[in-house]
A and B are shown apart, each in its own frame.
Chain A
Amino acid sequence: MKKFKGKILCLDRSDINTDEIIPAKYLTEIEKRAMGPHLLEDLTLEGFDVQKDLKDIAAIVTRENFGCGSSREHAPWALEVNGVFVVIAQSFARIFRQNMFNCGMLAIALPKEQIEHLFECCKIGDSFLSVDLETATIQVTSQDKHFTLPFTISEFDKTLVETGGWLEYADANY
């Protein structure tokens, strides 16, 4: 099982699509690691610097409908090869969300107030999280503040994360 722990990158916009996460011109690549240098390359967002802001991140916090558009699993792969195994958003597009769990990664939906709270922390300074799947909680550390956010995850999604993904699960069961 992957580890869900590390620095948070906040992307303050709704409807970030998979073309923005990984542009179509890189879909000619067959190896996942080829996506690495191109994560969020085409994202235009005030205050976001693709050259600097991706350094050492392990999680993304964002708004509504993250991952809409193309079904490309290259988007979760681009996150995965950059060490980003968890995305927290107010809501997700269906295919992206399913792709994340299929890859054994986490797409966690939280209510607006909690997303807002995370954004406030990120504004103040570097923030870090650690996800505990057993207790379904997110421990957040921001400057001198520590707090815990509960989240909901279905048994199925949890099983996918624990087994490594849908292929592993389906191969064992069907």
Chain B
Amino acid sequence: MGKTIAQKIFEAHLVDEPFGDVCVLKLDRVFCHEITTPTAIQDLVARGKDRVFDPDKIKAVIDHVTPAKDSKTALQGKILRQWAKRHGIKDFFDIGNNGVCHAIFPEKGFVRPGFTIIMGDSHTCTHGAFGAFAAGVGTTDLEVGILKGVASFKLPETFKIEIKGTLQAGVYAKDIILEVIRQISVDGATNMVIEFVGNVVAEMTMDQRMTLSNMAVEAGATSGICLPDMTTVTYLWPFIQQEYESPEAALADYTRFSSDADAVYAKTKTIDVSQLEPLTTFGYKPDNVRPVSQMAGTHVDQVYIGSCTNGRIEDLRVAAQVLKGKKIKATVRGIVSPATPKIFSMALEEGLIKIFMDAGFCVTNPTCGACLGMSNGVLADGEVAAATTNRNFNGRMGRGGMVHLMSPATAAATAVQGEITNSYLFVN
């Protein structure tokens, strides 16, 4: 009987099976940010166990509220900064070098196929795009990961989702994952790993795969995995060329972590996206999804382009293509937040930042900020946002605010019109 990629990664990392159904796994990476890590650090200090299992496997960033907005967020940054320093955590990204965790860690080459990764952040599933088992956890799991380098998981079942067909113009990875969540619902993959396969996924860039994997958790999934292929290797090549003779050799090694043809899946689903329209959310759940055409005309007060879902360079290129030579509606507050300094720098060099600014967007530094209503674009009661983020929960971007999730292209078109609009009306 064949095995799935998740089963193979679990087998390769198994430390202990203390109670049959529980797997204690060795961790390749523990990622940390300033919101969920300081409490773990404080607790370890209080217990007299202020140690780290391996400073080279721990990567840390200040990203949720940066620059600090008040004394409390300044203290969170300070605790993380001092901890990274005293334990020799070299890969710590502070102001000037910091970006959204799920964008900067892959960009730095920290993720490899077959890795086990945890972070105190639900969108850690993003790193599954590289063929890793990456899962969001709470602070206690994070604390144990920091101290012992292990984490416990039940061996997850796998939900194989095949994405096939040919995308129409104006339809992107964001629309695909919204369609997946619409079809399987917000708990359709709870306690399962989603394995994304099919010709559409095979043809996607790593940026697009990260958008897809990022929102797997919105369907309840533990991780959203794309199988490693030459696209994965090409992305990683600058970081692995010392390890392998050739990209082909790297691929041969990484395909150890690929699902067997006769692997057993708990569920399978095929979605043909050839007729898929651009989508957006209504209501307060990520599975409340409708075609943009049905939501057209909905007034918005703010358009936010950024986040770990859609703040990467390809997202900014797509949005800038829509915005080029246009002004956003005077009634709209446009905010764009490139997800990392490198993305910001590329956007500057490519002239994208000028396009955003000429169109009337405010360009912020890389941060999670507005996505979870912490800083840099919080909504007032009764306001409506069009956002390229991942959660439309009631009050997510500010108490009393409504969030419509959508692709960067749709968000840019919506900014120009001041109401929810299909991007293909703007691009030739």
Residues on A close to B: CB < 8 A? Answer: 15, 17, 19-20, 23-25, 27-30, 32, 42, 44, 64-65, 68-73, 76, 91, 93-95, 98-99, 102-103, 154-156, 159, 165-167, 170-171, 173-174
Contacts and interface: CB of A to CB of B under 8 A. Distances in A.
Given A30-B72, A71-B124, A73-B140, 15 more contacts: A19-B391, A28-B72, A42-B395, A42-B399, A70-B122, A71-B136, A76-B138, A98-B138, A99-B139, A99-B140, A102-B138, A166-B141, A167-B143, A171-B147, A174-B144
Interface stretch (B94-102, B106-114, B184-192, B271-279): B184-192
A171 B399 contact: no
B230 to A, nearest CB: 32
Contact of A73 (B16, B36, B150): B36
Interface stretch (B19-27, B83-91, B169-177, B407-415): B19-27
Nearest to A19: B393
B289 to A, nearest CB: 14
B235 to A, nearest CB: 26
Contacts of B19: 154-156, 159
A69 B138 contact: no
B393 A17 contact: yes
B373 A25 contact: yes
A2 B70 CA distance: 36
A147 B72 CA distance: 47
A121 B275 CA distance: 49
Contacts of B190: 65, 91, 93-94
Nearest to A17: B393
A17 B43 CA distance: 26
B295 interface: no
Interface string B12-45: 0001101111101000000000011011001100
Contact of A171 (B49, B76, B395): B49
B22 A156 contact: yes
B122 A25 contact: no
Interface of B: 15-16, 18-22, 24, 35-36, 38-39, 42-43, 47, 49, 64-65, 70, 72-73, 75-76, 79, 120-122, 124, 136-141, 143-144, 147-148, 150, 152, 186-187, 190-191, 220, 222, 285, 372-374, 391, 393-396, 399
Contacts of B22: 154, 156
Contacts of A20: 393-395
Nearest to A155: B19
Contacts of B372: 19, 24, 70
A20 B284 CA distance: 11
A71 B18 contact: no
A68 B220 contact: yes
A24 B374 contact: yes
A71 B393 CA distance: 14
A30 B220 contact: no
A46 to B, nearest CB: 14
A42 B399 CA distance: 7
Contacts of B374: 24-25, 27-28
Contacts of A44: 394
B75 A65 contact: no
B150 A95 contact: no
A68 B399 CA distance: 18
A65 B219 CA distance: 10
A30 B140 contact: no
Given A42-B399, A71-B120, A93-B190, A156 B21 contact: yes
